[in-house]
Amino acid sequence: MTKDYIKQYLEETVQIAQMVSQEEIEKGIAILRETKKNEGRLFILGVGGSAANASHAVNDFRKIGGIETYAPTDNVSELTARTNDEGWETTFTEWLKCSHLNGKDSVMVFSVGGGSETTSLNIVNALKLAKERGSKIISIVSRNGGYSKQVSDACVLIPVVDDKRITPHAEGWQGVVWHLMVNALVNEGE
* pLDDT, tens digit, 9 for 90 and up, residues 3-46: 999 999 999 999 999 999 999 999 999 999 999 999 999 999 99
How many angstroms separate the CA atoms of 147 and 150, rounded? 5
How many angstroms separate the CA atoms of 114 and 111, rounded? 5
The predicted pLDDT at position 93 comes to 98
The predicted pLDDT at position 21 comes to 98
What value does the mean pLDDT take over residues 91-97? 98
The predicted pLDDT at position 52 comes to 98
Q: Are 91 and 35 in contact (CB under 8 A)?
A: no
pTM of this prediction? 0.96
CATH of residue 132's domain is 3.40.50.10490
* pLDDT, tens digit, 9 for 90 and up, residues 132-189: 999 999 999 999 999 999 999 999 999 999 999 999 999 999 999 999 999 999 987 5
Q: Are 139 and 109 in contact (CB under 8 A)?
A: yes
35: left (phi over 0), alpha (psi -120 to 50) or beta: alpha
Residue 190 in this model has a pLDDT that exceeds 60: no
What value does the mean pLDDT take over residues 110-133? 97
Domain count of the fold of the chain: 1
The predicted pLDDT at position 1 comes to 80
Which domain, by its residues, includes 181?
2-187
Largest CA distance in the chain: 53
Helix %, strand %, coil % for the chain, to 5? 60, 10, 25
Query: Which 3-state string (H, E, C) describes 147-158?
Result: HHHHHCCEEEEC
Closest-CA residue to 20 (of 148, 141, 137, 159): 159
Q: For the chain, give the percent of residues with pLDDT over 70.
A: 99
Q: How far apart are the first and last CA of the chain?
A: 43
**Mean pLDDT, the chain, as a whole number?**
97
